[in-house]
């Protein structure tokens, strides 16, 4: 993969829609944009359409990015509480408007990233700490019965409760009714563990 970069000004701003090919997940494009987005002239707001789920073997899902990279960005001071109070900027966010599983896609997400106005903070990740809580989602698209989603959440909680009591996994079932998801079926689970020192660990599995 090659990229041609011409030095200039990163403008940011509002981009109505960018249609991503279904050969890669939307998160593949986020991976290239997020390191540059905070340094634009204006806050970046852009919508992406394409595959949002079902490609974790090659690309992380949008839920993975939402629970890891956005937490890390706030720890660096991007969209921190100080900047929000001082400059009236919202924190970085990723909103999944419509889910679209591989291979046909059909999903839609909205990305917002504020620009950096102050110095970035340093972070210390040398101490992983101890896991204090686990949060997650069991996600399905275009399945006949939503009971399969509940079974995934229940099975995951049964294993994790052996480790600690603070475990919460909610179900997120989407159907074709009212255009809630794309035409491809999928079933996945995304789990995020938070440690006592603020370290975030995320894993996911898709069928």
Low-confidence ranges of the chain (pLDDT < 50): none
Longest dimension (CA), the chain: 53
**Structure confidence by residue, pLDDT tens digits, 144-157:** 677 888 999 999 99
How far apart CA 78 and CA 156 sit, in angstroms, is 33
How far apart CA 151 and CA 69 sit, in angstroms, is 28
Q: What is the pLDDT of residue 167?
A: 96
How far apart CA 170 and CA 71 sit, in angstroms, is 20
Q: Could you tell me whether strands 186-195 and 200-206 are parallel, antiparallel, or unpaired per DSSP bridges?
A: antiparallel
Q: What is the pLDDT of residue 91?
A: 84
Q: What is the pLDDT of residue 56?
A: 85
How far apart CA 167 and CA 12 sit, in angstroms, is 38
Q: Could you tell me whether strands 167-174 and 44-50 are parallel, antiparallel, or unpaired per DSSP bridges?
A: unpaired
User: Cβ atoms within 10 A of the Cβ of 156, count?
Assistant: 18
Q: Quote the tokens at residue 145.
A: 């019965």
């Amino acid at each position: 993969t090659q990229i041609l970069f011409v030095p200039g000004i990163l403008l940011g701003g509002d981009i109505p829609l960018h249609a991503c090919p279904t050969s890669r997940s939307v998160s593949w494009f986020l991976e290239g944009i997020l390191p540059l987005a905070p340094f634009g002239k204006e806050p970046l707001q852009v919508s992406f359409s394409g595959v949002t789920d079902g490609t974790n073997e090659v690309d992380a899902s949008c839920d993975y990015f939402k629970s890891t990279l956005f937490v890390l960005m706030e720890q660096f001071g991007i969209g921190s509480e100080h900047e929000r109070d001082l400059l009236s900027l919202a924190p970085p966010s990723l909103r999944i408007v419509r889910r679209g599983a591989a291979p046909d896609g059909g999903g839609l997400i909205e990305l917002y990233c504020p620009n950096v106005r102050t110095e970035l903070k340093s972070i210390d990740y040398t101490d992983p700490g101890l896991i204090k809580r686990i949060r997650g989602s069991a996600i399905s698209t275009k399945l006949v019965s939503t009971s399969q989603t509940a079974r995934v959440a229940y099975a995951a909680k049964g294993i994790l409760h052996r480790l600690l009591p603070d475990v919460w996994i909610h179900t997120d079932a989407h159907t074709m009714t009212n255009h809630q998801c794309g035409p491809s079926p999928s079933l996945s689970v995304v789990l995020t563990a938070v440690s006592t020192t603020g370290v975030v660990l995320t894993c996911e599995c898709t069928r």
